[in-house]
Chains A and B, each alone.
Chain A
């Protein structure tokens, strides 16, 4: 599904996640964040970069992993991305929704 975000054509899956990280940039992130009700601040970017790096290295992500990353602890992660931090942060970071089961 193609859509226009921050003046660019972006491919999204039907849950609103980017299908190509190459189409991501900070403006795109800011607009998706707004849809999630989040105003991006200096505290958000290191988390988004960390998630992208893990994704590129094919490391499966979990809230615990983020909490132990040294970038944020779990409480800060919740404070930055309230109500489902990993799912929201992944969407804003332009990476796939974290794997789950059925």
Chain B
């Protein structure tokens, strides 16, 4: 009997357990470890602060999505001993493996910023990257009378890099709906040099911020937060004051990654960008947000990685050369408020482009263009997520490699 162990039963881990259950030979056992009982539909966090979704709309039991063939172990991970092919769990169980897949993602680490945690946490300073944070922010927003809302990114990389911008657009629409938009000043505070940093996206979308009266504070690398004065300060001494701060704290990989000596300074795991094999060991593969790849940390990326990882695990156990094919493909809906969204499609080398998706020249979705159809696509995605994506079913017309047909690359290759 041979052993394949998957660490993490989120988007990537659950999807891989389903892929592998169909393909691994019968003499392979599959075990999947996660400390949680509940699977969160994380793209749904964005909508909770505005009351569009409630907590119960975005959670389901993990076990429901694990294939029969795999054993689900609900337990914390203590450590991976990569030299001896072993995983130690908190209940002192030891799992030996022939192949290990790490899919433990990323989480917020507000303790990384001086002063971010304190009495003000979830009172005047909020995150929406956890279910708890999103729910508390909803309660706050419902009773908020207005003032200065600063939406803030602590440092890159973060999961779903467009979510802060979407939050900002949705907040603008939300306050308008509540009739208090004129009492709210909205700022977007970012360590990057703008809200849209890539030239093509910037050219297509730059007007959105202006139209919505959102001020951008670029190149702001936070050093500390003063919860009493309600001020954040950057490394150059610049200050931004707020009444309500919605921050994306530093994102880090899981703690056991650090204890196992497998991660970088943020516990992300050095990974070969085309094959998804870890740089530390040949029999360790990494997928999704847990990698250090220069791709977006997003479910769509994990989805595209999944097909190549499946192929490479099969090749690895058969002693064949790995495919060096992952191209960094990402595909994201971006909510812009008022029932509209836009869609972006990009990879390691191509920045977001205009055109149609998923069928070249037809659509029905338009890239880089606000439309109601794109918003409907985003809302329909929840069903696709639960019923196709994490269960490892093929999504029609959407391929792991970026399709170059029907897209306007001539204006993108800059």
A89: min CB distance to chain B, Å = 13
A-B contact pairs, 17 of them (CB 8 A): A15-B199, A59-B264, A59-B292, A60-B293, A60-B294, A63-B191, A64-B155, A65-B265, A74-B235, A83-B236, A99-B294, A100-B156, A100-B198, A101-B161, A101-B197, A102-B201, A102-B344
Expressed in whole angstroms, the Cα–Cα distance for A98 and B199 within the complex equals 14
| A13 to B, closest residue via Cβ | B414
A94: min CB distance to chain B, Å = 18
In the complex, the answer to whether A101 meets B155 with C-beta atoms within 8 Å is: no
Expressed in whole angstroms, the Cα–Cα distance for A63 and B196 within the complex equals 19
Interface size on B, residues (CB 8 A): 35
In the complex, the answer to whether A62 meets B157 with C-beta atoms within 8 Å is: yes
Residues on the B chain within 8 Å of A65, using CB = 264-265
In the complex, the answer to whether B235 meets A102 with C-beta atoms within 8 Å is: no
- Asked whether A14 and B221 contact (CB < 8 A) given A100-B197, A102-B162, the answer is no
Residues on the B chain within 8 Å of A74, using CB = 221, 223, 235
Expressed in whole angstroms, the Cα–Cα distance for A83 and B221 within the complex equals 10
Is A75 among interface residues, defined by CB-CB distance under 8 A? yes
Expressed in whole angstroms, the Cα–Cα distance for A78 and B201 within the complex equals 28
Residues on the A chain within 8 Å of B193, using CB = 84, 87
A13: min CB distance to chain B, Å = 7
Q: Which residues of A contact B (CB under 8 A)?
A: 13-15, 58-60, 62-65, 68, 74-75, 78, 82-84, 87, 98-102
CB within 8 Å of A: which B282-297 residues: 292-294, 296
B288: min CB distance to chain A, Å = 16
B162: min CB distance to chain A, Å = 6
Expressed in whole angstroms, the Cα–Cα distance for A14 and B205 within the complex equals 19
In the complex, the answer to whether B236 meets A78 with C-beta atoms within 8 Å is: yes
| A77 to B, closest residue via Cβ | B235
In the complex, the answer to whether A63 meets B221 with C-beta atoms within 8 Å is: yes
Residues on the A chain within 8 Å of B352, using CB = 102
Interface string of B203-233 (1 = CB under 8 A from A): 0010000000000000101010000000000
Is B266 among interface residues, defined by CB-CB distance under 8 A? yes
In the complex, the answer to whether A63 meets B155 with C-beta atoms within 8 Å is: yes
Q: Which of B156, B219, B264, B265 has the most CB of A within 10 A?
A: B156
**3 cross-chain pairs, A with B, having the tightest CB-CB distances, nearest first:** A101-B161, A102-B201, A100-B197
Residues on the A chain within 8 Å of B236, using CB = 78, 82-83
Expressed in whole angstroms, the Cα–Cα distance for A66 and B168 within the complex equals 30
Interface string of B103-131 (1 = CB under 8 A from A): 00000000000000000000000000000
**Residue in B197, B270, B293, B414 whose CB lies within 8 Å of A102:** B197
Is B303 among interface residues, defined by CB-CB distance under 8 A? no
In the complex, the answer to whether A101 meets B296 with C-beta atoms within 8 Å is: yes
In the complex, the answer to whether A78 meets B235 with C-beta atoms within 8 Å is: yes
Residues on the B chain within 8 Å of A64, using CB = 155, 250, 265-266
**Residue in A13, A62, A68, A99 whose CB lies within 8 Å of B155:** A62
**Residue in B196, B270, B334 whose CB lies within 8 Å of A59:** B270
